[in-house]
A = this chain, B = another copy of it.
Amino acid sequence: MTAPETLEGWYALHEMRRLDRRAWSALDESRRGKAETEAVRLLTDAESVDDPDHGRSVTYWVIGHKADLLTIHLRPEVSELHELERRFDETLLASQTHKVFSYLSVVEISRHGLPEGAIENVESSPYVQGRLYPDIPEYSTYVCFYPMSKRRGEQDNWYLLDAQARGELMRAHGRTGRRYAGKVGQIVTGSMGLDDWEWGVTLFADDPLQFKKLVYEMRFDEVSARYAEFGPFFVGQRVRPGDLGEWLR
């Protein structure tokens, strides 16, 4: 079988950290203040990179025990993602956290699924460029991130389907997704050779019920029902860097 042709945009690093509350509460007031200031500045700097050529960064609280903080960085180079990770590692706040999960991937679109006009001239197509170098959607109060792979079962093996069958299944899936236009924004990133699953899915919405509605509906699409394998789901609520302090007290 031949792999579908894909286009790639920014690299993505999803970083999940958990605060060690015991260690944190053992720091004295002034060190905590310093830690907060330093972290806020770093995240503010990262988020202020809003030139379409330079990437995006956005930060969420994670609900539940899986993590406390999720930062998503989109950048042109892996080295920039690593630089952002390393700079945060060096902060006093980071030294009070554990990195509990992360995900390295790259924004991916399938050439095959593009509209007619766009296929021929991807470099100049605003549609293609907007998907490869995406804005964080307006409706981004909540985020849902999960990694996934396509099943390679002994009967149901995605990678042994022919291109046409795969194409039809994906198009049907796309139609389900489009019914949530304006309610759920989506960035799909590819991660083969970069991380443990094959893709990352990052959903954005102002109403977190839409995550459930969308994922539930999609699960009945044959491509999910038969071929999808899901990793952990992380749900977060957006936090502006300047508001980190509230949570750190």
- Chain A interface (Cβ < 8 Å from any Cβ of B): 1-3, 6, 8, 11, 13, 15-16, 20-25, 61, 63-66, 68, 78-79, 81-82, 85-86, 89-90, 92, 94-96, 99-104, 106, 142, 144, 152-157, 159-160, 190-196, 198, 203, 208-209, 211-217, 219-220, 222, 224-226, 228, 230, 232-233, 235, 237, 247, 249
Complex alpha-carbon distance, A13 and B208, angstroms: 14
Q: Say yes or no: A235 contacts B195, CB within 8 Å.
A: yes
Q: Which residues of B contact A79 (CB under 8 A)?
A: 237
CB of A238, distance to nearest CB on chain B (Å):
10
Add 20 more A-B contacts to A159-B224, A193-B235, A195-B235 (CB < 8 A).
A2-B220, A3-B217, A3-B220, A16-B65, A22-B96, A25-B95, A61-B82, A61-B86, A65-B100, A68-B89, A78-B208, A79-B237, A106-B212, A152-B228, A157-B225, A159-B225, A192-B215, A192-B216, A195-B233, A196-B232
Is the beta-carbon distance between B8 and A209 smaller than 8 angstroms?
yes
Do B104 and A1 touch across chains, with their CB atoms under 8 A apart?
Answer: no
Known: A64-B104, A103-B64, A226-B160. A194 touches B220 (CB 8 A): no
Distance (whole angstroms) from the CB of A208 to the closest CB of chain B: 5
A216 with B195: in contact, given A85-B64, A152-B226 (CB under 8 Å)? no
- B160-A102 in contact (CB<8A): no
* Residues of B contacting A25 in the complex (Cβ-Cβ under 8 angstroms): 92, 95
- Do residues B21 and A23 form an inter-chain contact, with CB atoms below 8 A? no
Q: What's the nearest-Cβ distance from chain B to residue A195, in Å?
A: 6
Nearest CB on B from A221, distance (A): 8
